[in-house]
Amino acid sequence: MGVSVKKSPEAIYRIVEKLQTIVEKSSRDKLFRSYAADPAFRRAIRIHRHLKALEKEILTESTTGRLSLSKDRSSDQIVIKICQDNIRYQRVAYLSPKEFTLLKKNTEVSARLRKCKAAQRVA
């Protein structure tokens, strides 16, 4: 019988940070093959992909839409709202404080988020 080991959120976020630093596709593929069966790794992959998609949208939004930040007082999560008025699109993302910190590691995204009026109250 296999023993199930539940990893802490901190361990999952360390995996996400590692994924963010890997640039070479071969290294990333090797990591995927090594840990593909690990539930914590799969969770980290989902978080990493979610943050990458947000990065892309935030940087795209900078020329064609609006971006706002707020804090959900009931859950202590950061709320990022991306609006694209020209195509009537709106995305709302809820991030934990740690996920928000990981998102801001991208200097371009961090600069764009600082331009938001509510950024000082959130971070």
Q: How many domains does the chain have?
A: 1
Query: In the structure, what pLDDT confidence band is assigned to residue 37 with cuts at 50, 70 and 90?
Result: confident
Inter-axis angle of helices 39-64 and 107-114, nearest 10: 50
Exposed/middle/buried for residue 36 (C-beta within 10 Å: 0-12, 13-18, 19+): exposed
Query: In the structure, what pLDDT confidence band is assigned to residue 97 with cuts at 50, 70 and 90?
Result: very high
Higher pLDDT, 88 or 48: 48
Q: Does residue 4 form part of some domain? A: no
- 17: DSSP letter: H
Quote the mean pLDDT of the chain. Answer: 79
Q: Render pLDDT for 7-23 as a digit per residue (tens, 0 to 9).
A: 688 888 888 888 878 76
Q: Does residue 1 form part of some domain? A: no
Query: In the structure, what pLDDT confidence band is assigned to residue 121 with cuts at 50, 70 and 90?
Result: low
For residues 92 and 80, the answer to whether their CB atoms sit within 8 Å is yes
Q: Does residue 3 form part of some domain? A: no
Higher pLDDT, 27 or 52: 52
Q: Which domain holds residue 50?
A: 9-122
Task: Name the percent of the chain lying above pLDDT 70.
Answer: 73
pLDDT value, residue 104: 92
In three state form, how does the secondary structure of 35-79 look? Answer: HCCCHHHHHHHHHHHHHHHHHHHHHHHHHHCEEEEEEECCCCEEE
- How many Å apart are CA 63 and CA 112, to the nearest integer? 11
pTM listed for this prediction: 0.75
Q: Does residue 84 form part of some domain? A: yes
| CB within 8 Å of 61: residues ≥ 6 apart | 67, 82, 83, 84, 112
